[in-house]
Amino acid sequence: MSPHPLPPSEAGPPRYRIAARELCEFTAKHGDLDLRFTPAPSAQEGITGHATVAARRGGDYQKELPLRGHYGALEVRGRADGYYPARQELEEVKTYRGQLERLPENQRALHWAQLKVYGWLLCQALDLPELRLTLVYFNIDSEQETLFSERHGAAGLREFFETQCALFLHWSASELAHRAQRDPALAAAAFPHQQFHAGQRKLAEAVYRTAVRGGCLLAQAPTGIGKSIGSLYPALKALARGEVEKVFFLTAKTSGRRLALDAAASLASSDKDAIPLRVLELVAREKSCEHPDKACHGESCPLARGFYDRLPAARAEAVQQPRLDQAGLRAVALQHQVCPYYLGQELVRWSDVVVGDYNYYFDGSALLYGLAQLNDWKLAVLVDEAHNLVERARGMYSAELDPAQLAALRRAPPAELRKPLDKVQRAWNRLHRDQTQTYAAHPQLPESLCRALQEAVSAIARHYAEQPPANDSPLQTWFFSAAQFLRLAESYSAAHSLFEIVLEEEAQPRRPGRSRLAIRNLVPAPFLAPRAARTHALVLFSATLSPPLYYRDLLGLPASTQWLDVPSPFRAEQLQVRVARGISTRYQHRQRSLPALVARMAAQYRDQPGNYLAYFSSFDYLQQAAAAFSSLHPEIPVWSQQRGMREPERAAFLERFQAGGKGVGFAVLGGVFAEGIDLPGERLIGAFIASLGLPQINPLNEELRRRLDAQFGAGYDYAYLYPGLQKVVQAAGRVIRGTQDRGVLHLLDERYAEPEVQALLPSWWHIE
């Protein structure tokens, strides 16, 4: 919502352009935050509703009336829905579904404010002394109109318009003052450390060129060289020059967000005078909600009550804080008694750097991407640990239907929903009636199921239009799942996804087993490619982005994507890499090879006592190895990763790795302790990696292999080899974190001796 600069006019100072709705969003909302679920019309339904209303009007009715006007340095533009010249009546049409009285008050206030702004712009354009303003609420289900009309004099409308503009310009002036302080300070800021690490400067130069020129960069840079500050520093240099307007730093895990926040803090405070840099952390709603037992509206949650009334003061104080991480944002929000989560969303527009999860930009309904398109921001988007994006994006564009949820709903549904839900169940049952295998993949979606789901979703929407749902009710949860399934069905193609049926229990004669249905995305490229194309500068970096073609193919990156392979600052003598040529960790050999594997680990520990990490491909394999190790070598301290560990438990696991400590931590390859953790020096002196990390051979992965082979000609590599060895290199990167570190790495599988495998391992390793 930042105003868009226009060329300076001869008549006065530079002007700024803003849409009437954006202006009112900022100045005119008041009352409660109200996020009670109401089935809203789709974009297409809204367009159809507007067309229906316009078609009912007379021949003198003017549709889509463009309007514009000025106040000081601000130009306001918009397009009113309709105008009756003979009656001097201006209409604004809003579509809705359900009961009109359930429309939140803050939305009503926004609608009236927008109409009043249009009213003044029209009075000014036509020199009208007064005007009738009419809000038309159109119910898309009943096609009924409800009209609210008021007559306003031009003087009153002008006063309202100027008040809104003055409020925005007051804020805008403070924003321009912030930038006037920020940009020279950033331009003069030195790198926050005494010098660049080896390779770090090369990364920074490439990121800067990309931020200035635009385009996409894939940067493979070794673990431990400081990729966070090495990418953020040049992006902010480009921000200071006006080459980009905002920097988004996207991560896969909490640890990545913390590193990015620390990097920004080190830069902002690296000089004698602090740099006025606004850094915002976005955290998932469930982690930032103060009242998880309450619904998001003023009648339930005290932080939603009067949210928009208290927002201006909270916003004004928040932008004075240099670092709005989760704790800082929470402190400001609670001081002003507003919701921390939604305050964070409001502050995106006014932040220089936004740090958040991948889903905030790459998900189908991503907040940051939506705001960037709405406001036409020129962005530098930095994607940390980008090797994770393939699998995360697949999840974003997949949807699953749980048979247990539907079965529970059908036990006691509202009367009007019984038939639609029964119809879904019958269509569902027909799909697996003749299926004998547990897993089946299909290239096409079943039309009968999609029709039944659409009817059920529409029926639930009508039901909710009359009866508001309980907070997070089972019916609402299933409604969202089915709606997501249908959204993906609209863009479904066998080129990027499949439809799968997984039997949950064996099919019985006369009693078919229940099945789980899913649209499973395999190639996220078609969904991500438009985002890459519309982003000014997209930089993806990680220690494991090789081969680059794999990522370009699966992430939909443009053919012009630049590739950078940063040489390692580490020397071969720092890391002893030893291959266990007589050990096979293939699934069928694991039990037989376990004694030799444990013996090798124990021998290394006896030879050089200290802290080690041992990685295994699954929790089951980890538990077997840990039990065998403890049984044969009870004198060696052991601690193990558990399923579903929470933050305190993870911290306790890592706390065991103290300088001078001794023991072996058992962890899962590809898990939370295999990347994004920093254990420098004696905190970790070695690692054992059992297996190549290859994904399990199962029907889904085999289908993935076949599809990728048909599309890219490298099915096994894309489905198994590359993802597996990425996990290995990431885990191995925990050992050497700095130029003074030394350690040992045991690759516990004979396949590591194969040339095609070694070709995918870091070139600076000397493998014994």
Residues 625-669 pLDDT 10s:
999 999 999 999 999 999 999 989 999 999 999 999 999 999 999
Tell me the fold of 195-275+352-397+524-568: Rossmann fold (3.40.50)
Look at the domain 572-758 and name its fold: Rossmann fold (3.40.50)
Higher pLDDT, 373 or 5: 373
Whether 107 has a pLDDT exceeding 90, the answer reads: no
State the pLDDT at residue 4: 54
pLDDT of residue 721: 96
**pLDDT mean over 32-47:** 78
Q: In the chain, what are the domain boundaries?
A: 4-169, 195-275+352-397+524-568, 278-349, 399-523, 572-758
Average model confidence (pLDDT) across the chain: 91
- Residue 580 phi, psi dihedral angles, 5° rounding: -85, 90
pTM for the model: 0.88
Distance CA 53, CA 63 (A): 10
Show Cβ contacts of residue 303 under 8 Å, excluding neighbours closer than 6 positions. Answer: 33, 290, 291, 333, 337, 338, 339, 340
DSSP calls for 278-301: -EEE---HHHH-S-TTS-SSTTT-
Per-residue pLDDT averaged across 313-337, rounded? 93
Residue 468: band (very low, low, confident or very high) from pLDDT cuts 50, 70, 90:
low
Q: pLDDT at residue 271 above 70?
A: no
> Is the fold of 4-169 the same as that of 572-758?
no
pLDDT in tens, 538-567: 999 998 999 999 999 999 999 999 999 998
Select the highest-mean-pLDDT range: 59-73, 355-369, 499-513. 355-369
Per-residue pLDDT band for 585 (boundaries 50, 70, 90) equals: very high
pLDDT tens digits, one per residue of 428-448: 999 988 888 899 999 999 999
Residue 163 pairs in a beta bridge with: none
Alpha-helix runs per DSSP H in 320-446: 326-335, 340-347, 359-362, 367-375, 389-396, 403-411, 418-431
Q: Are 163 and 123 in contact (CB under 8 A)?
A: no
User: Mean pLDDT across the stretch 518-528?
Assistant: 97
Strands 4-5 and 16-19: antiparallel
Protein fold of 4-169: Lambda Exonuclease; Chain A (3.90.320)
Per-residue confidence (pLDDT) for residue 505, from 0 to 100: 63
For residue 274, pLDDT beyond 50 = yes
Count of CA atoms in the C-beta half-sphere (13 A) of 546: 19
Region 164-184: what's the mean pLDDT?
90
State the pLDDT confidence band at 273, using cuts at 50, 70 and 90.
low
End-to-end CA separation in angstroms for the chain = 58
Highest mean pLDDT among 43-47, 197-201, 661-665: 661-665
Q: Which residues, other chains included, contact 231 with Cβ-Cβ below 8 Å and sequence gap of 6+?
A: 203, 204, 207, 219, 382, 384, 539, 541
Alpha helices for 138-199 (secondary structure H): 154-188
576: helix, strand or coil? strand
For residue 448, with 0-12 CB atoms within 10 Å meaning exposed, 13-18 middle and 19 or more buried, which class applies?
Answer: middle
Q: Which phi-psi region, left, alpha or beta, contains residue 405 (left: φ > 0; alpha: ψ -120 to 50)?
A: alpha
- Give the model's pLDDT for residue 506: 52
Burial of 481 (C-beta count, 10 Å sphere; 0-12/13-18/19+): middle
108-139 per-position pLDDT tens digit: 989 999 999 999 999 999 999 999 999 999 99
Asked whether the beta carbons of 277 and 322 are under 8 A apart, the reply is yes
Q: Which residues contact 630 (CB under 8 A, 6 or more apart)?
A: 638
**What class has domain 399-523?**
mainly alpha
The pLDDT assigned to 708 comes to 96
pLDDT at position 508 over 60: no
Nearest to 333 by CA among 346, 351, 349: 346
> How many residues are recorded in the chain?
768
Distance CA 714, CA 313 (A): 57
Contact by Cβ (8 Å): 34, 59: no
Q: Which of 218, 221, 216, 222 lies closest to 548 in space, CA to CA? A: 218
8-state DSSP, 583: -
Nearest to 474 by CA among 405, 395, 568, 414: 405
For residue 444, the model assigns a pLDDT of: 94
Residue 616 has pLDDT above 60, yes or no: yes
Confidence of residue 194 (pLDDT cuts 50, 70, 90): confident
Alpha-carbon gap, residue 606 to 49, rounded angstroms = 76
CB 523 within 8 A of CB 512: no
Determine contact, residues 763/729, Cβ cutoff 8 Å.
Answer: no
Region 677-684 average pLDDT: 92
Per-residue pLDDT, 6 = 47
How much is the average pLDDT of 400-417? 90
Question: What stretch of H or E contains 152?
Answer: strand 145-153
